[in-house]
Chain A
Amino acid sequence: DTAVSQTPKYLVTQMGNDKSIKCEQNLGHDTMYWYKQDSKKFLKIMFSYNNKELIINETVPNRFSPKSPDKAHLNLHINSLELGDSAVYFCASSPVEVTGELFFGEGSRLTVL
């Protein structure tokens, strides 16, 4: 059983399109995250939800909209895709205590042409 699963694993799309990435965790964690990893492997936090409530919203364009229908799911929708959005997007989850580790999905590689 995959602990944190993301779909799709690969997306290739044209500029201006809209795309979504889904994430599900079966660990029973209360907190979920979206991270963006660029071509230089730099990891930047985008959003975090705790029990369906948005708790971290970094400086991310409004074109990115997270949605958490329940605490086991956190989806990411991206409108009007731009070339600079090409990256690997990682979903992660963690237990409520902040000393807990992050559990990462395998990533979704988005390529915008």
Chain B
Amino acid sequence: AQSVTQLGSHVSVSEGALVLLRCNYSSSVPPYLFWYVQYPNQGLQLLLKYTSAATLVKGINGFEAEFKKSETSFHLTKPSAHMSDAAEYFCAVSLSGTYKYIFGTGTRLKVLA
């Protein structure tokens, strides 16, 4: 069965520092991978998605993620954190041929001034 593991439920970075949020997946077939962001009292919105077209995926707000099959990872990065990046981030996986999306447990990003 497919699953997603997010390492670190809380991550703090200084404004202007690199953001790295970790996601590892488990899947017996090539997965489709997603990162979503949730701001307080809002629904989730898509940051970026991997659907096998390119291993380095660029998303909105300066975020990007790299699919590494050998490491079964899909880590999210941003070169320079901004205060507005403070939110909850979710990694998710879906399997081709299914309608099921499985979410990780989330990582809360705190940006320090």
Bind each other = yes
| Proximity string of chain B (22-66) to chain A, C-beta cutoff 8 Å, 1 when within and 0 when not | 000000000010101010011111100101000000000000000
| Stretch in contact with the other chain, from B12-20, B74-82, B94-102 | B94-102
A to B contact number (C-beta, < 8 Å): 61
- State how many residues of chain A have any CB contact under 8 Å with chain B: 23
A48 to B103, CA, bound (A): 15
A101 close to B (CB within 8 Å): yes
Which residue of chain B has its CB nearest to the CB of A50?
A: B99
Q: From DSSP, what is the main secondary structure of chain B's interface residues?
A: strand
Kindly report which residue of chain B lies nearest to residue A30, judged by CB atoms. B99
How close is B28's CB to chain A, nearest CB, in angstroms? 16
Among A45, A55, A90, which residue has its beta carbon within 8 angstroms of that of B43?
A90
Instruction: Judge whether B99 and A55 touch: CB under 8 Å.
Output: yes
B90 touches A4 (CB 8 A): no
A41-B88, A42-B105 given as contacts; is B99 within 8 A of A101 (CB)?
A: no
For the complex formed, measure the closest distance between the CB of B88 and the CB atoms of chain A, giving whole angstroms: 6
Q: Does A56 contact B (CB under 8 A)?
A: yes
Contact of A56 among B34, B97, B99, B105 (CB under 8 A): B99
Q: 8 Å CB contacts to B: which residues of A48-74?
A: 48, 50, 55-56
* A98/B43 in contact, CB under 8 A: no
A94: B residues at CB distance < 8 A: 99
Identify the closest chain B residue to A9 (Cβ). B41
Q: Which residue of the partner chain, among A33, A41, A55, A90, contacts B106 with CB atoms under 8 Å?
A: A41
Q: With A45-B100, A48-B100 given, is the CB distance from A104 to B105 under 8 Å? A: no
**With A104-B45, A106-B43 in contact, do A98 and B94 touch (Cβ < 8 Å)?**
yes
A40–B90 CA distance with the chains assembled, in angstroms: 13
Give 26 A-B contacts (CB < 8 Å), ordered by A residue: A4-B43, A41-B88, A41-B105, A42-B103, A42-B105, A45-B100, A45-B101, A45-B102, A48-B100, A56-B99, A56-B100, A90-B43, A90-B44, A92-B44, A94-B99, A98-B99, A99-B49, A99-B94, A99-B96, A101-B49, A102-B92, A102-B101, A104-B45, A105-B43, A107-B41, A107-B43
For the complex of A and B, list the 4 residue pairs with the smallest distance between their C-beta atoms, beginning with the closest.
Answer: A104-B43, A43-B103, A101-B46, A99-B51
